[in-house]
Amino acid sequence: MTDVGASIQLIRETLRAQTALAGVAVEPVVLENVPGGISIRYVTGTDQETNGADRVISSLVFQVVLSVPNNNPLTEAIVAQGKAIDALQGAKGSNTDGTVYLIRRQQPIYYAQRDPNGQVWQYIGGQYEVLVRGG
């Protein structure tokens, strides 16, 4: 699971560097993990078909959104925060958990949802694919 750790660490570092997101809690949520042993679209090398072999690259999908109460109008600051999340597009790097080869947005996200208490929240951000190799 170091591939997930490497991805989350780079996503958090990239978001922390965005001044529009200073003091705003934005957390990545893993939506999908392509398990080892099956083909993925972008592979640098091949999976090894031996006992205990590791996947060359994992393809993970994260949803990264900013949640805002619906009674707040979409101010310029909120729109700027939503756009700042897209700094993830093209991000790459290495950390102690592994190497992220590429982050790319699959689609933008904007929707509203009612919580169990009846409060309506707006979600602004995107769904991102991360190509990563755990350390």
User: Strand (E) positions, 34-97?
Assistant: 58-69, 93-95
In this structure, how many other beta carbons lie within 10 angstroms of the beta carbon of residue 76? 7
The whole-number average pLDDT for the span 121-135 is: 86
Please give the pLDDT value at position 104. Answer: 93
Q: What's the pLDDT band for 88 if we cut at 50, 70, 90? A: very high
Does the pLDDT of residue 52 top 70, yes or no?
no
CATH, residue 128: 3.30.2000
Average pLDDT of the residues of the chain: 79
Domain interval for residue 42: 2-134
If one counts the domains in the chain, the total is 1
User: Which of 108-114's residues contact partners 24+ apart within 8 Å by CB, and which partners?
Assistant: 109/63, 109/65, 110/82, 112/70
Please give the pLDDT value at position 49. Answer: 52
User: Strand (E) positions, the chain?
Assistant: 28-33, 58-69, 93-95, 98-114, 120-134
Please give the pLDDT value at position 32. Answer: 58
Q: Which two tokens stand for residue 33?
A: 């993990």
Does the pLDDT of residue 45 top 80, yes or no?
no
Cα gap 115→121, rounded to integer Å: 7
Q: What's the pLDDT band for 100 if we cut at 50, 70, 90? A: very high
